[in-house]
Amino acid sequence: MATAIATRGSRDRHAGGPAPLAFETYARTEVTTTIDDEQRLVASLRLGDERAFTEVVDRYGAAMFRVARAYLGSDDAAGDALQETWLAALRSITTFEGRSSLRTWLIGIAANVARSRRRREARGSALSVMLSSLSDLRHPPTVDSSRFQRSDGRDPGTWRVPPAAWSDLPEAQLLGKEALAQVTSAIGALPEAQRVVIQMRDVEGLASDEVARVLGISGANVRVRLHRARAAVRARLEMYFREVPR
């Protein structure tokens, strides 16, 4: 099985050097997996079946890659992390008990590996550790406070300038490449804690309790981070749609 990992890594090279399991490897559309499929895959992986490993990569690799990239910020770094993730998953497959789906379990391993790599990088720079800590403590308001009624107004705390209504926008415009690129860019600009939560919850479709379990945080923490992340992404889209002709 390790040979299969090494073989895939050796195919993904570019002029700048090695890029094991690069983005193109995970650009496929994921296949819906039934419980029976999952049990078959787990049993086959435990027997060292390389075809089962290839199937697992095809089914779950894209989501794992995107989560790793949410932590590490680049395709190359995410690809390196996934090499380590696959090896860790294969070593641990005998301990998989089915309390979560195989997909969630693998995403959790990818998140742990990426987090560990991120911490190792951060240790090399005392400044980056300090700035990271400060950013966790100082969250800017998710919505500009001037958009709410002041405490001396008629309805304090209610909207003065409500969110823009997008129901009159053509569906093609809402789902167009430029709008989706804005969403991707907005997510990429979020603080790590928010970026990873919105990636897992809204992009990969994990349930809130699964996100909490993978990240080792409370459900309330997931909700707070997700609210802040969604508000920031929506604010970015509001700016974009104001500038785009209808």
Whether residues 55 and 99 fall in one domain: yes
- Per-residue model confidence as pLDDT tens digits over 186-197: 999 999 999 999
Residue 183 pLDDT class (50, 70, 90 cuts): confident
Select from 122, 149, 184 the last residue of a domain. Answer: 122
pLDDT for the residue 37: 83
Q: Are residues 55 and 151 in the same domain?
A: no
Rounded Cα distance, 22 and 61, in Å: 11
Same domain, 118 and 143: no
Contact status, residue 108 vs residue 214, Cβ threshold 8 Å: yes
- Give the phi and the psi of residue 159 in degrees, each rounded to 5: -65, 135
Q: Does a structural domain hold residue 130? A: no
**122, 155, 175 - which closes a domain:** 122
Task: Supply the pLDDT for residue 180.
Answer: 82
Question: Across residues 62-78, what is the average pLDDT?
Answer: 93
- Global pTM reads 0.70
Question: Which residue stretches of the chain are H helix?
Answer: 2-11, 35-46, 50-72, 75-92, 102-123, 126-137, 171-174, 177-188, 192-198, 208-215, 219-243
Q: Average pLDDT, stretch 140-167? A: 57
pLDDT at 121: 77
Is residue 184 in a domain?
Answer: yes
**Residue 128 lies inside a defined structural domain of this protein:** no
| CATH code of residue 17 | 1.10.1740.10
Question: Above 60 in pLDDT, residue 126?
Answer: no
Are 178 and 231 in the same domain? yes
Asked if 18 and 55 sit in the same domain, the reply is yes
Domain shared by 115 and 168, yes or no? no
Residues 80, 163, single domain; the answer is no
109 shares its domain with 168: no
Helix axes 35-46, 50-72, angle to 10 degrees: 100
Check whether 71 has a pLDDT greater than 90: yes
Q: Residue 164 is part of a domain; what is its CATH number? A: 1.10.10.10
Residue 164 structural domain: 139-243
Which tops the pLDDT comparison, 135 or 230?
A: 230
Alpha carbons 86 and 109: distance in angstroms, whole number: 9
Give the pLDDT score at 42: 94
Query: Do 146 and 216 fall into the same domain?
Result: yes
The number of distinct structural domains making up the chain is 2
Percent of the chain with pLDDT over 90: 48
In sequence order, the 6+-apart residues with CB closer than 8 A to the CB of 176 are: none
Query: pLDDT for 26-57, tens place per residue?
Result: 544 455 567 788 899 999 999 999 999 999 99
74 alpha-carbon distance from chain centroid:
13
Shared domain for 10 and 108, answered yes or no, is yes
Task: Judge whether 131 lies within some domain.
Answer: no
Instruction: Give the pLDDT mean for 52-70.
Output: 93
Query: For residue range 173-182, what is the model confidence (pLDDT) as tens digits?
Result: 555 678 788 8
* 132 in any annotated domain: no
- 176 and 232, same domain (yes or no): yes
Answer yes or no: are the C-beta atoms of 65 and 103 closer than 8 Å.
no
Residue 23, pLDDT > 50, answer: no
Is 129 domain-assigned?
Answer: no
Is 215 a member of any domain?
Answer: yes
Crossing angle between the packed helical segments 219-243 and 208-215, to the nearest 10 degrees? 110
Contact of 106 with 89, CB cutoff 8 Å: yes
Q: Answer yes or no: do 84 and 157 share one domain.
A: no
The span from the CA of 202 to the CA of 184, in Å, is: 12
- pLDDT value for 133: 47
Q: Is the dihedral of CA 227, 228, 232, 235 positive or negative?
A: positive
Could you tell me the pLDDT band of residue 18, with boundaries at 50, 70 and 90? very low
